[in-house]
């Protein structure tokens, strides 16, 4: 069995909210006991509604914020134990593509400077080799080498995202976080970027693994090998994407799937859709956090928090999962 490239266990993080008066401000549990693996050259998606903890989880993995508890192992190395010097040295193996290329690219820099900046930071490809490397990167994402002398404002949204992808791949990373990389793009451009990401994963010499953060399940279905569903900071279901979409075990996964527009007329018109909005992370309900919205909730769900259980290649945190 292939060892995971990234292994996350028991990751937790809480944040202090704004103080009101003299009362002690409550702490919001943004991520609670999150565990998952990402295999080499594979894609794992984190999905869920806004505020479910997806992006915070990615930031913890990248060590942009430090966790309160848990462990992260990358390529067999204790990622959280690295000192700042060692961490910065290893950062070339990890990268990120942000959601909005209009804000993630410096409008005053040329494309050459944007794409080559990580190379300069890590001392890679000195002199003329760097210009040739940038040219190769631009060509790999479908942009001409003449793009190097232009600024981001001279490109469309899809082209800007290609620049962001070229920058992310410049150091030949083995792991890339894709933080909603197509949600800010027109529908007509999304398929192009998704196909590009798949092709680069297969053809780039480093064959990077992806952690895909998203809420559009049709996009996730196209790109992810495995999917983890998050609700109020926890993973409630995880497994191979195809099986999870075809037969969701957790009622919340059913809610997400039922909320997506139908692509074809013969798809089921509706499932049992729970009502209401997610509770505030600052004051979560007792027991199972999903029970106020769950059509299958029983007394036990209101009193106890379900622990996840493994079912073959799936895991689910629910006392009464879907049949």
Q: What is the CATH number of the domain that holds 73?
A: 3.40.50.300
Number of domains in the chain: 1
Q: Mean pLDDT over all residues of the chain?
A: 91
Q: Tell me: the pLDDT tens digits for 49-91?
A: 888 999 999 999 999 999 999 999 999 999 999 999 999 999 9
Tell me, yes or no, whether 321 lies in a domain. Answer: no
Tell me, yes or no, whether 322 lies in a domain. Answer: no
Q: What domain range includes position 282?
A: 6-13+26-261+270-316
- Of 27-31, 164-168, 184-188, the one with minimum mean pLDDT is 184-188
Q: Tell me: the pLDDT tens digits for 22-45?
A: 667 778 899 999 999 999 999 999
Number of C-beta neighbours around residue 24 at 10 A = 8
Residue 269 — pLDDT band, cuts 50, 70, 90?
A: very low
Tell me, yes or no, whether 197 lies in a domain. Answer: yes
pLDDT at 323 over 90: no
Tell me, yes or no, whether 151 lies in a domain. Answer: yes
Tell me, yes or no, whether 18 lies in a domain. Answer: no
Q: How far apart are CA 109 and CA 101, in angstroms?
A: 14
Tell me, yes or no, whether 90 lies in a domain. Answer: yes
Number of C-beta neighbours around residue 195 at 10 A = 12
Q: How far apart are CA 151 and CA 6, in angstroms?
A: 35
pLDDT at 314 over 80: yes
Q: Tell me: the pLDDT tens digits for 276-298?
A: 777 878 788 999 999 999 988 99
Q: How far apart are CA 149 and CA 258, in angstroms?
A: 46
Tell me, yes or no, whether 104 lies in a domain. Answer: yes
pLDDT at 238 over 50: yes
| Backbone torsions φ then ψ of 228, nearest 5 degrees | -115, 125
Tell me, yes or no, whether 231 lies in a domain. Answer: yes
CA 16 to chain centre: 24
């Amino acid at each position: 069995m292939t060892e995971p490239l990234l292994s996350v266990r028991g990751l937790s993080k809480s944040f202090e909210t704004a103080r009101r008066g003299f009362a002690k401000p409550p702490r919001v549990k943004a991520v609670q006991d999150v565990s998952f693996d990402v295999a080499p050259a594979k894609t794992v998606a984190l999905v869920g509604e806004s505020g479910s903890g997806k992006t915070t989880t990615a930031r913890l993995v990248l060590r942009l914020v430090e966790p309160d508890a848990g462990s992260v192992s990358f390529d067999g190395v204790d990622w959280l134990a690295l000192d700042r010097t060692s961490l910065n040295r290893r950062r070339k193996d990890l990268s990120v593509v942000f959601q909005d290329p209009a804000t993630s690219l410096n409008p005053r820099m040329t494309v050459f400077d944007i794409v080559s900046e990580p190379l300069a930071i890590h001392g890679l490809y000195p002199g003329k080799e760097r210009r040739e490397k940038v040219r190769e990167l631009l060509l790999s994402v479908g942009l001409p080498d003449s793009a190097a002398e232009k600024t981001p404002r001279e490109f469309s949204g899809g082209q800007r995202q290609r620049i962001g992808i070229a920058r992310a791949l410049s150091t030949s990373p083995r792991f890339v976080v894709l933080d909603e990389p197509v949600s800010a793009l027109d529908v007509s451009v999304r398929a192009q970027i998704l196909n590009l990401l798949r092709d680069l994963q297969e053809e780039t010499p480093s064959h990077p693994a992806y952690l895909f953060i998203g809420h559009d399940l049709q996009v996730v279905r196209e790109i992810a090998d495995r999917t983890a569903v998050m609700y109020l900071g926890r993973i409630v279901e995880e497994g191979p994407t195809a099986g999870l979409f075809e037969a969701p075990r957790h009622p919340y996964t059913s809610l997400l799937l039922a909320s997506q527009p139908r692509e074809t007329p013969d798809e089921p018109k509706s499932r049992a859709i729970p009502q209401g909005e997610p509770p505030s992370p600052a004051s979560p309900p007792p027991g199972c956090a999903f029970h106020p919205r769950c059509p299958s909730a029983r007394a036990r769900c209101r009193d106890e928090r379900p622990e996840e259980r493994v079912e073959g290649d799936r895991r689910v945190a629910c006392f009464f999962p879907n049949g």
